[in-house]
Structure 1
Amino acid sequence: MSNLLESYNKILALLHTLDGKDNYRQQVRPPKMTDKQLIALCLAAESQGIDSERYLFRQLPSELLVIIERSVYNRRRRALSPKIEDFRQAMSHAIVPVETYHVVDSMPLEICRFSRAARSRICQREVETAPDYGYCAAHKMHYFGYKLHAVCTVQGVLRNVGITKASCHDIHYINDIRDDLNACVLIGDKGYLSQTLQLDLFDNHGLKLNTPMRKNQQDYKPFPQAFSKVRKRIETLFSQLCDQFMIRRNYAKSFEGFSARIISKVAALTLIQWINHQAGREINHLKIMI
């Protein structure tokens, strides 16, 4: 419990260095716990592997428990998801301000087991954001849920993160973020192999997309060994998100709650990298006590 309070206080002080404001939403009455304090509590919990709100409120110290209720915390955290993402972006650029090479990849996020998909009601409120069926070639499995897309630097700092339906092709995500990645080299796997897309990105955005070629393609060239090594960085990040931050464990019932959980976990990972960077440590050694 004391570790949670210490982490909360340290994270709150770090957030103050990024933004001097305390509240980011217009409310009739000023809340007892400010928006920034709530974000700090959320990141402190995620950084310690506490992803259950029920368990979190059992561990909360009395000085925090008297200023926030569980239902209010849940509702406000969802509303503050855009601000949490803003903080994550600020921390990301504080670690690596400019980078020419980036890596792109995706990973499956199951909502429920495949056998339960037909009767599942999780995140089914809106058709546009409802989960659907997809296939993961890396794991050779069909699943029901969403797909997490990510772009990271060669150092392992996440730049862009997005959630799409499981059936969404990886190429569509690049079309959504190409304006954010002008004049850089993007390294992907065979899921991003598209000559039309590569030419369009290069001609209109100065973005060079490098992917392994299929051996039966004309003018086949082996994928550079240096790019293959760099690609392992984002795969390691996905493994850390699954292991330490339990990103595939889902307690949410709505898409807003689901996306808020994902954003919070990714922000907590970037926060630890930022703390390591400030302390002069290897940024990707994430198992530390804040």
Structure 2
Amino acid sequence: MKTNLDALLAALYVFIVDHVAPCRRIGRPPKLTDAELLCLAVAQVLLGFPSARHWIRFAHARLPHLFRYLPQQSAYNKRLNAAGPLISLVLEALARQVPTWHDNLRLIDSTPVPCAASRETVKRSELNGHAGYGFCRSHSRFFWGFRLYLVTTAEGMPVRWCLANPKLGEREVMTALLERDHHLVRAGQVVLADKGFAGKEFETFLTERLGAHLVRPDRKDEPDRHGRLARSRQWIEAVFDTLKGQLSLEQHGGRTPAGVFARTGQRLLALAAAIWHNWTTNAPVKRSLIAYDH
């Protein structure tokens, strides 16, 4: 099997059609199916087009051989903004196909997803009341938007995710996420986190409720347990770096809660599709996007 964007999109289209039930619609079938829409969305972020206007213009000029119908910008935005639930279904289906789904290690962390840069934009935004102000300790900056909470396998395959107001505590949000989808964490698994998840209640929840083991870097004010874990903690940091550096997470362009959710999921789906295809083609580096970004 070839390792390039055309091969990835063809394989992803077949996978979605075979493994994810299509949404039932009333009336005439759409010219662009749900599977084609998600393939088009994945291609957008892999090729580095944060702007939907630029992307649709490029797709009409360069990608007609891959899609039997290409919508205009307004129709594409409308369909993509409504595709969040479908993206989540495809993400979990892809995650179940990779060998590391059965491993005894899960990585968890959170990262900012900024949505506005000025006070005037914040006041006018439809996200007002959903997003909020937060502080990113890693980059020593304030932001207005959401925090992305992510659970992944060792190589970065997204397993479960959510967006939350940054004013909410990290442990509380992750507890709610894992409690809702507790079947995704099996008894005996090791959950690798950072110091932000230090807390007796959270560790008790993982140990007694889920049967998992929390491993995190030691804080300065507690006895030695696991050490600094600097090398292992870089795994999840590298996943966030890929999402922001190569997949333009911070330039998502969402203006409504549904839009931000879908466009964040769009980036995660592109990453998941690349990892899944790299496993399928036996690529040496499973999170590499080099074969698909041109």
Bin for the TM-score computed over the shorter chain:
0.7 to 0.9
- 1: CA distance, partners of 2:10 / 2:166: 35
Matched, 1:154 2:154: yes
For 1:270, the aligned partner's letter is: A
Which runs of structure 2 are paired with 1:270-289 in the superposition (5 Å)? Answer: 270-281=272-283, 282-289=285-292
Match of 2:243 in 1: 241
Match of 1:189 in 2: 194
- 1: CA distance, partners of 2:21 / 2:220: 56
Task: State the Cα distance separating 1:55 from its structure 2 match.
Answer: 0.5
- 1: CA distance, partners of 2:289 / 2:92: 18
Task: State the Cα distance separating 1:105 from its structure 2 match.
Answer: 0.8
Task: State the Cα distance separating 1:201 from its structure 2 match.
Answer: 2.2
Task: State the Cα distance separating 1:161 from its structure 2 match.
Answer: 1.6
Matched, 1:206 2:250: no
- 2: CA distance, partners of 1:215 / 1:176: 27
- 1: CA distance, partners of 2:87 / 2:210: 28
Match of 2:31 in 1: 32
For 2:241, the aligned partner's letter is: S
> Structure 2, unaligned stretches of length 5 or more?
none
Match of 1:3 in 2: none
Structure 2-normalised TM-score?
0.86
| Higher normalized contact order (CA 8 Å, seq sep 6+, divided by chain length) | 2
Q: 4+ residue runs of structure 1 moved beyond 4 angstroms?
A: 62-67
Task: State the Cα distance separating 1:8 from its structure 2 match.
Answer: 5.7
Matched, 1:103 2:102: no
- 1: CA distance, partners of 2:85 / 2:28: 21
- 1: CA distance, partners of 2:266 / 2:44: 10
- 1: CA distance, partners of 2:22 / 2:79: 11
Structure 1-normalised TM-score?
0.87
**Between the two proteins, what is the percent identity of the paired residues?**
23
SS of the equivalent of 2:134 reads strand
SS of the equivalent of 2:249 reads coil
- 1: CA distance, partners of 2:46 / 2:237: 20
SS of the equivalent of 2:101 reads coil
Specify which of 6, 11, 14 is matched with residue 12 of structure 2: 14
SS of the equivalent of 2:102 reads coil
Structural RMSD (CA): 2.4
Match of 1:55 in 2: 54
- 2: CA distance, partners of 1:109 / 1:146: 5
- 2: CA distance, partners of 1:27 / 1:67: 21
Task: State the Cα distance separating 1:288 from its structure 2 match.
Answer: 1.7
Deviations 1:186-234 (A, max 9, x none): 11111100012212321122022222232223xx015346x43222111
